[in-house]
Structures are given as structure tokens and as C-alpha cells.
Amino acid sequence: MGDRQLVLASAADASDVTAFTGRLLRLDEAAVIRLQQRDDGLVGLWGTTGFDVLATRAVFGTLTPADVVCDARVLNTAAAGGDLTIDPGFALDSAWRGALPPQQGYRHVDDVPLRTIVDLAQRGAALAKEPVGGGHGPVTSLLDQVVLEVSGGGVDAGIALRSLFALTGMGFARDRNGRAIGESANLDDIADDEPVRVRASGTWIRLDARYGSVYQRRGDQFAVTVL
């Protein structure tokens, strides 16, 4: 084992790593993962989703060094095999562009029912499949459309469709039985009191679901579209 090492606290944490990396690899076969030791003692897993939105969840463990970029498939294979001490392999720092969002400095804007989030994502997915301009596919700006405006505490947050696709694509949205929600999921299977918490900073909008969070940069949005 080299000087780069992720030590997970339990088999449950290995399962969480497997789920996160597996979902990320479905969205991008060449995905990389950024690992970061957090101030609260957890290890944050970060990935780019293919929607220009960052996805993250945290596990119990320790990381050496405190910031590592590695191949998602290497991490997935080791965690799926039940390894709790994982060598993340070669450093892929050049494959990660941009800084991570800060851990602190977010204001709670409001809580949105998960049913609303999933309904908008499903309607957006249906719209994306419709041929536009003689069958040339959906308009390129569709993902950038703001489909949900949230306000509270003097803060406004416009949430783009790409963020909802990332949240559902990463399996962070689950029904009342813990099953990941897909395009054909029945909204009635989602608990009516299950929230998605919206937080915002000066540069990021953050959606926190029960099984993970996605981060959208402020300003990467166009006018509100009703789906």
C-alpha cells in the first residue's frame, strides 16, 4: 500500500462508496472521483455528473493525503469487493478542473417536496426526448432552463433542470421503500413529507437529499420555463 490511502470505517461505508461510484460511472464511463477529508471527520466523495453539476456524499473514514483525485472505476472495484483499506491508484489531479464548493457559508432557503423535484425531472426528461427542428434532438439550452424558483430568508435560488437530472441520476432521490427513483417512477411511491433542502451561497446553489447532494453554480441559468 502506497502513501495514498482511503480507510473506510465499515462495510456499510464501502457499500455507499460502491453505490456512488457505480452511479457516476453510468453517467460517465471515464469518471474520476475527488476525495476530501472533511473538517467533521468524514470523507467527502465528489464527482462531475455530465450535467455540469457536482454530486457528493460522505462516508466515515480517513484519507491520506487529505485531497485525492482518482479513477472512479478503481475505487468502485475495490469497494464492491469489500475492501475497507483502498489504494486509490494513480493521481489524476489534472483530470479535475476547478475548486470544490466550500463546506461552510450556505444559507437555508427552503425545503421543497421530493415529489415536486421528481415530477419536474420526469417532465423534463420527457421533453428532452421530443424531436426538435426535424428530429435533430432537443434544444441545447434545455438543461440550463430554470424550472424551479425557491425563495426564503431574503435569498432567491433558481434551480436549473440539469440539477434535477443530476439528483435523480445519482440515485439520491428514493421512494418510501428506499428504491432509487427513475423516469417511470410513480410519484405516489414517494413519501409526501420527504424534503429536498435548498441552500445557497454567493456562488453555489445546493440541493440536499437524503442520500446525497448536488451543487449548481449560480449564474449558470436562463429564464424560468414551466414544464
pLDDT tens over the chain, length 227 residues = 568 999 999 999 999 999 999 999 998 999 999 999 998 989 999 999 888 899 999 999 999 999 999 999 999 999 999 999 999 999 999 999 888 999 889 999 999 999 999 999 999 888 887 765 444 444 557 888 999 999 998 899 999 999 999 999 999 988 888 888 877 788 999 999 999 999 999 999 999 999 999 999 987 544 333 33
Residue 125 has what pLDDT? 86
Exposure string of 164-190, with b = 16+ CB inside 10 Å and e = fewer, is bbbbbbbbbbbbeeeebbeeebeeeeb
SS3 category, 120: helix
pTM for the structure as a whole: 0.88
The residues spanned by each domain of the chain are 5-95, 107-217
Nearest to 76 by CA among 134, 33, 138: 33
> What is the topology classification, in CATH, of domain 107-217?
DNA Polymerase III; Chain A, domain 2 (3.10.150)
The dihedral built from the CA positions of residue 80, 89, 103 and 38, taken in this order, carries a sign that is positive
Do 160 and 221 touch, CB atoms closer than 8 A?
A: yes
Residue-level pLDDT at 97: 84
What does the pLDDT read at residue 147? 93
Query: CB-based contacts of 135: which residues, under 8 Å, 6+ apart?
Result: none
Residues 6+ apart with CB under 8 A from 91: 4, 68, 69, 70
pLDDT of amino acid 225? 37
